[in-house]
């Protein structure tokens, strides 16, 4: 596969309260959702266990996107701030096996920021096209999870 026709797969964990509402709004506004983006609705960004992220990469994701509410807006007070610590930790661990930090995004998205969300996914997709397939996801023949 040449770099030009590589289409990355992004697994997106979106908090039910703000980010998911933003995606819903994007749909209502008939902004097409990127086909690269595989959406998983979670109850809070703070519930995204690091294993979910690791397993996503191991099972074929080229990038993982976690959407949380802005600090101060968390439905569960601090779930998003806990998610931020976990993502910082995960980035270091993924770095240990050479996975670039651009492959794991945590972004704050308000319910009204549908346009911003769509742009973010487009930007992440662009960056992942440049980075190419994730080595954990597209392992050379003979290396299975």
Partner 1 sequence: MKRVYSIRTHGNPTLALRSLFASWLEQKVVQALLVPVRQAPSAVVMQTLVSDPEELDYADPLAPVAFSNAAALLSSITHHSAGARLGAVVRSCDIRAFVERIKLHQGSRDNLLLVGFDCLGRFENQEYLKLCNKYDDLTTEFYRAATPGIDGIEITRACRACVFPVAPHADINICLFGTNLWEEIRLEAATAAGVSALEALSLPLVGESPERGAVIESMVSERKAYRDALLSEYRARAGSVPGFVRLTAACVNCYNCRVACPVCHCRECVFCTDLFLHDGSRLLGRAKRHGALRMPTDTLLYHLTRMVHVGALCVGCGQCSSACPNGVDVVGMFLSAGAATQGRFDYVPGRSLEEKQPMTVFCEDELADVTG
Which residues would be at the binding site for partner 1 (CB under 8 A)?
50-51, 54-55, 58-59, 71-72, 78, 81-82, 84-99, 105-108, 135-136, 139-145
Least distance CB 144 / partner 1 (angstroms): 5
Taking the least distance from each CB to partner 1, the nearer of 85 and 126 is: 85
Least distance CB 101 / partner 1 (angstroms): 9
Taking the least distance from each CB to partner 1, the nearer of 27 and 50 is: 50
Taking the least distance from each CB to partner 1, the nearer of 54 and 111 is: 54
Closest CA to 109 of 10, 13, 28: 13
Q: Phi, psi at residue 38, to the nearest 5°?
A: -105, 115
Least distance CB 80 / partner 1 (angstroms): 9
Least distance CB 11 / partner 1 (angstroms): 15
Taking the least distance from each CB to partner 1, the nearer of 32 and 97 is: 97
SS3 assignment, position 12:
strand
DSSP string, 28-53: HTTPPPPTTEEEEEES-GGG--HHHH
Give dist(CA 116, CA 128) in Å, integer: 18
Q: For the chain, what is the total number of helices (H) and then of strands (E)?
A: 4, 4
């Amino acid at each position: 596969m040449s770099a030009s026709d590589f289409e990355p797969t992004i697994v997106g964990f979106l908090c039910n309260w703000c980010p998911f509402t933003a995606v819903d709004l994007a749909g209502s506004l008939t902004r097409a959702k990127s086909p690269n983006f595989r959406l998983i609705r979670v109850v809070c960004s703070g519930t995204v266990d690091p294993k979910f992220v690791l397993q996503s990469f191991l099972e074929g994701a080229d990038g993982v996107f976690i959407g949380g509410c802005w600090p101060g807006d968390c439905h569960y007070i601090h779930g998003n701030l806990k998610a931020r610590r976990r993502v910082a930790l995960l980035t270091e661990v993924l770095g240990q096996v050479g996975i670039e930090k651009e492959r794991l995004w945590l972004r704050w998205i308000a319910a009204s920021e549908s346009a911003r969300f769509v742009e973010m996914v487009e930007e992440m997709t662009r960056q992942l096209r440049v980075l190419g397939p994730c080595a954990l996801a597209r392992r050379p023949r003979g290396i299975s999870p």
